[in-house]
Structure 1
């Protein structure tokens, strides 16, 4: 495995970001921090990475974006640690490339390197187009991945028509060559902020865009969507402005801080999820209490707590699962459901019609008990249908 000198990619945490030693049991006292010398990453679980890159946004936001990661740290370090034995490192602030595209490529290199070492990178700060570098990190992973994006807009703008990178990066992900995108979920979009051409494109591609109202009806129903993701990207503009005044484009309506933390908790519990990014914070727009930095810090805290409560739901050939095969008498003739004896979560198997190896093998799709009940009534669950359609 090719080694990488991480010191070349990061600036240490500046001295004005203080760790309050009077707060006993704080996160800041419980993790490894790059305060001048790069900590050894060997054997660690999670790497925190501050992003100061704002060239994908309007120029008047860039200074505030650059100050964002350290403001988030100041809030994060003062939180109480939850789980014992944290193996978490704060690598510092990622150094920008000579131009924006260079930053994406550098981010790709570091993201890929950390994931090969079984370390989950958690990015915070930067404009939302930093999702591109995160996504590019999977290019050499030799698998198709599922992306989860949380945002109040779809960000499907056309760069050729002058749309900023922060508003067009999802378009680039969809069109990226080589293509290793199997599925894409979008949570929390607000219909009145999305054009018909964008929503029509999502529908044609059979991607699942779930509007804000559906998310808020019962967020627990969205847990299988979060559990299906390999990577998650969150634009803090998906939150209500009262919770995130420092977001670049938060509106009156949106997710609450509690709902955002719930999504991060689900993401942490997801055994297959291998990277997270929380983007779009402009420190200069935050209120006097630095409310947005606290909300983002708490979201990171909940992801870490979720991670240390993972149940190891990966090996579906083990005896840790109950298997229920539901006959349907049509096409498909039956569907296999798997229930974990440990976490009590459900999955359903979607076989590839040609039973090939490699990318296009059978896939285990997270689901709810309600999907099992639907099959018992003779109906094929919608997510089974959309997944199968990707094979054909």
Structure 2
């Protein structure tokens, strides 16, 4: 399958030399960030695949500063939706596979939240034991129907025998919108489930859930809406503008990031600020990826031992980034990302249960 047959290249946008758009390419480069915009929303109730115009988002994104970014940014354009929603999933996985083959990071923008299934499937084909972090206000574990939807895609990822998942973290769920049995089940199988309230104001406590993430997807329903809605299912409660940009940067700072999805965006919004917000979210993601790539490959650690009752625990601080880990192992793969507040609480005798369950 030729990518030229399934993608519509973006129209040229005039920019100045200091702006990001001046450096954006239109074909996949090695080790690049690859943007793909999608119009297929058939995974939501009454959703369709009408061709959408993302020019407003591009206008805003292209005119932001390129700073000293060194990683190439490619905009492949708009994905042509398949005849069926399942066809779109297949087509998208072809694009994703082409990106992974060149060690590029695909960023899929638009489309319904179930497209996360394709992101996980394509990544699982190239590597196993992936860490998946999702920001979404809903936890839906429905397993009905043959078609993939935003209600059943997560259960299909977690229950599939062909997939290999190491960790799953669900951030930003809202109690009043969820069936408590789903939340309870997630906790029973020891997946991390974090309420919206714990994400607000600061990223410190929840940053560890992004640090080793291979795949991160964002359901825009988890973002506070304004005007006619930032998402296709607008919510009065959610992460605010500053918080979601801060989290996009944290996603980019992941040490293992391979793929990103930003779904359920309301591309038909008449409010200019919604398109501007999405553009700035993408920019902060790009900034985070560039910062992470500038970090030294070799890391050194300071180890701090604590005695709690009759038990001895080790916390380690990475000296360059000032990030904290739990465990005494010399192999970082076997350490559990944690926060400074986890260490401070342990000094007072309280161990975060998340650290002890592994």
Q: 1:350/1:158 Cα in 2 relative to 1: closer, same or farther (>3 Å)?
A: farther
**Retained in 2: the 8 A contact 1:233–1:276?**
yes
The counterpart of 1:52, out of the listed 15, 39, 44, is 39
**Retained in 2: the 8 A contact 1:108–1:134?**
yes
Q: Does 1:167 align with 2:151?
A: yes
Q: Does 1:94 align with 2:87?
A: no
Partner residue in 2 for 1:291: 273
The counterpart of 1:339, out of the listed 317, 320, 345, is 317
Q: How does 1:1-392 map to 2 (within 5 A)?
A: 5-13=2-10, 15=11, 18-21=12-15, 23-33=16-26, 39=27, 41-59=28-46, 62-63=49-50, 66-67=51-52, 69-160=54-145, 165-242=149-226, 245-284=229-268, 286-287=269-270, 289-310=271-292, 318=298, 320-326=300-306, 334-349=312-327, 363-377=334-348, 379-386=350-357, 388=358
User: TM-score, normalized by length of structure 1?
Assistant: 0.82
Aligned partners of 2:107 and 2:333: how far apart in 1?
Answer: 29
Unpaired runs of 5+ in structure 2? none
The residue matched to 1:97 in structure 2 has which SS? coil
How far apart are residue 191 of structure 1 and its match?
Answer: 0.8
Q: Deviations over 1:276-319 (max 9, x none)?
A: 111112322x13x432221111100000011111166696xx46
User: TM-score, normalized by length of structure 2?
Assistant: 0.89
Aligned partners of 1:246 and 1:6: how far apart in 2?
Answer: 30
Unpaired runs of 5+ in structure 1? 34-38, 356-360
Aligned partners of 2:328 and 2:87: how far apart in 1?
Answer: 39
How far apart are residue 101 of structure 1 and its match?
Answer: 2.2
Query: RMSD across aligned C-alpha pairs, in angstroms?
Result: 2.8
**Retained in 1: the 8 A contact 2:175–2:195?**
yes
**Retained in 2: the 8 A contact 1:268–1:306?**
yes
Aligned partners of 1:265 and 1:209: how far apart in 2?
Answer: 21
Aligned partners of 2:100 and 2:228: how far apart in 1?
Answer: 30
Aligned partners of 1:261 and 1:307: how far apart in 2?
Answer: 13
How far apart are residue 327 of structure 1 and its match?
Answer: 5.2
**Retained in 1: the 8 A contact 2:86–2:147?**
no
Aligned partners of 2:238 and 2:163: how far apart in 1?
Answer: 31
